[in-house]
Amino acid sequence: MTRYGMVIDMERCIGCHACTLACKAANNTPPGVFFNRVEDREVGEYPDVKRFFLPRMCLHCQEAPCIETCPSGASQRAENGAVIVDVKKCTGCKACMLACPYGVRYASFEGQDNRTYFQCAEDLTCDTSHEIVEKCHLCLDRTRKGKKPACVATCLTGARFYGDLDDPDSEVSRLIRGKGGWTILEELGTQPSVYYIGRLPLPKERVWELLV
């Protein structure tokens, strides 16, 4: 199975939220649900204060706790390595939400007709009216047609890169090697497929402390 993923350049991200809006439009998510969001944080004390932006999304882990925990088999892996949810199998139990250490899964509102929302990939059509859990699926419907994920295609500063992580000559692989790509909470051993590069105004080990 091919493993596709993403590299996000922290130095290029300006917090414009174009990725957030593009993702929301592409997936037609309900109010308050953002498969892609950008955290805005400040570190330091006056007068030495610095601001940084951290895009957050599903990290499509190789060792995904959500897949291991899902009792119905709804959480599974697509052919490109993306972690996806088959809503036809999803019972809305939220076990995957509890298992995900990154907080990037969303439950639909109770009583909501999900057919109004969640424009999923073709074979993951959200045709259920019961409560489900959804998340980023790396724009599976777009990438199957050779297109880039909506957030990558829309990024105004070119901060996002999508490609084959198993290909050592791909752009994403070269960026990870050449610029010291790192992942959030590496110590958990989930082996995320979303990497970050670029200078930070604080040690990378402290990034998650500011998000929880």
Rounded (to 5) percent helix, strand, coil in the chain = 25, 20, 55
Q: 81-97, pLDDT tens digit by residue? A: 999 998 888 888 999 99
How far is residue 178's CA from residue 8's CA, in Å, rounded to a whole number? 14
Q: 95-111, pLDDT tens digit by residue? A: 999 999 999 998 875 44
Residue with tokens 């409560």: 131
**Domain boundary assignment for the chain:** 4-210
% of residues, the chain, pLDDT over 70? 89
Identify the CATH number of the domain defined by range 4-210. Answer: 3.30.70.20
Q: 151-169, pLDDT tens digit by residue? A: 999 999 999 999 999 999 9
Residue 115 pLDDT greater than 50, yes or no? no
